[in-house]
Amino acid sequence: MSTATSLLPPGPRITPLQTFRFMRNPSGLLQECRERYGDPFTLPLPVGNVVITGDPEGIREVFSSDPSVFEPLGQLPLAPAVGENSLLLMGGQRHKRERKLLMPPFHGERMRAYAQLMRELTLRAASTLKPGGTFRAQGMTQDISLEVIIRAVFGIEEPERVRRYREVMVAYLESYTPLLMMAAPLRRSFGGMGPWARFQRHVAELDQLLTEELASRRGHEEGHTDILSLLLAARDEEGQPMADAELKDELRTLLIAGHETTAIGMAWALYHLHREPKTLERLLEELAPLGPTPEPEALAKLPYLSAVCDESLRLHPVVVVVGRRLRAPLTLRGRELAPGTNIMVSIWLAHHDPERFPESERFRPERFIERKFTPFEYLPFGGGARRCIGAAFALSEMRIVLGTLLATHRFSLASDKPERPVRRNITIGPVGGVEMVYEGPRHGALA
């Protein structure tokens, strides 16, 4: 291993095999680099050299800098899936304006309107399980979170239309394979054949559904609480509404950014709670006074349930690094980085720092009750001007779904074999999806 360039912090040269390893699950390589080169270090990745920090001081320097210092990292692998008008691909003033339009529906009071829906969908999903039967926790949480998006974000209510959306969205999401995501040369049609052509067909299908939706909904937003209706009614500082093309790409962004991420967080929580019985016991003690089917508002206030969600996202951050490109110089831990430099904040390294998180590989929700962490020590939703706009939504969903499931039903793990994290597409999730056994209702027959 030798230094990549003299201007950047030190780092290894990496082989194609290591690049592949980084793509599959970067945590091992990140850890080795930090041990060997200190923080920050430089990794040569397909996007170019990237300076990486996972130290709270470095993270503070990045997240507290003026947002105009950064633009999105180029060649975002998700770009074709979200579309060119996605918040994820915007920088500068355009990003600021778009966030102003997109953020309000994700805050405060609005969340309450979605809480009952989250509970209802959880109870419905659990009611399909057969006692003694096995199921994949991530399959179930993903079913729930997809329908939460279809109904709370897109505002689709009519069951047949919900079914149609689900079908089209699943086909669209599955057709954007990790291979298409990582290998740009494959993104062309071979005479209407191949994975890219297939993906394009599903993009067109979803686009058709969204075109119909926008045509029938514009002008009828009043009285609706779903996020699309709020976005249709939103106006920017010049009084302009969002254009259809913009709305469609943002809807696809919310779908992609919002459902699998939350589902993975919930699947990991179920896994650890059932591997470490004391944590499940403590959670059940906390849930017991709320009765057989707790109200979502009550679940939102439970400190241990909240700590369980935080600890799952700490131990297994769903997004392990967030990237930026410098438009202006930045001093990172005493080093002057030039415009054009790619940087990444490593959420994984921050969350596995043994100084802040002793026994960092252990699932110990108590740590979130014993002390508070700064946004530079604990950052599952990234930070600064690009911090996840769905963070409150996701945390509320995780608490309601987990609290409802565990208060009403009993589960166990189908095997002792440990799960390990692996990349699915942009997210990193449990390789086997957490196989579980449904043991039956917790309080006898459920109404």
Burial code (b: 16+ CB inside 10 Å, e: under 16) for 175-199 equals bbeeebbeeeeeeeeeeeeebbebb
Q: Is residue 296 within 8 Å of 116, Cβ to Cβ?
A: yes
Q: Which of 196, 348, 376, 393 binds ligand HEM (CB under 6 A)?
A: 393
Q: Enumerate the H helices of 83-132 as residue ranges.
A: 92-102, 109-127
The count of residues interacting with ligand HEM (CB under 6 A) is: 26
**Closest-CA residue to 132 (of 408, 411, 418):** 411
- Tell me: does residue 401 bind ligand HEM (CB under 6 A): no
Q: Which of 40, 83, 155, 258 binds ligand HEM (CB under 6 A)?
A: 258
Piece of the chain touching ligand HEM by CB under 6 A; list 194-202, 274-282, 381-389, 401-409? 381-389
**Closest-CA residue to 213 (of 202, 228, 223):** 228
Which are the contacts of 230, defined by CB distance < 8 A and separation ≥ 6? 104, 105, 110, 221, 224
d(CA 391, CA 377): 16
Least separation in angstroms between CB 154 and ligand HEM: 11
- Tell me: does residue 390 bind ligand HEM (CB under 6 A): yes
Which residue's CB is nearer to ligand HEM, number 198 or number 213?
213
Chain positions 133 to 162 lying near ligand HEM, rule: CB under 6 A, are 153
Which residue's CB is nearer to ligand HEM, number 258 or number 403?
258
Q: Is residue 395 within 8 Å of 309, Cβ to Cβ?
A: yes
What is the DSSP code string of 120-171? HHHHHHHHT--TT-EEEHHHHHHHHHHHHIIIIIS---SHHHHHHHHHHHHH
- Tell me: does residue 389 bind ligand HEM (CB under 6 A): yes
- Tell me: does residue 381 bind ligand HEM (CB under 6 A): yes
- Secondary structure letter of residue 73 according to DSSP: P
- Tell me: does residue 436 bind ligand HEM (CB under 6 A): no
Would you tell me how many other CB atoms lie within 10 Å of the CB of residue 217?
A: 17
- Tell me: does residue 56 bind ligand HEM (CB under 6 A): no
Q: Which of 30, 33, 88, 144 binds ligand HEM (CB under 6 A)?
A: 88
Least separation in angstroms between CB 318 and ligand HEM: 4
Which are the contacts of 305, defined by CB distance < 8 A and separation ≥ 6? 283, 286, 287, 299, 399, 402, 403
x-or-dash pattern for ligand HEM, window 265-304, by CB under 6 A? Answer: x---------------------------------------
Chain positions 304 to 363 lying near ligand HEM, rule: CB under 6 A, are 313, 318-319, 322
Least separation in angstroms between CB 194 and ligand HEM: 30
Piece of the chain touching ligand HEM by CB under 6 A; list 24-32, 202-210, 260-268, 333-341? 260-268
Q: Which residues bind ligand HEM (CB under 6 A)?
A: 87-88, 99, 153, 253-254, 257-258, 261-262, 265, 313, 318-319, 322, 380-383, 386-390, 393-394
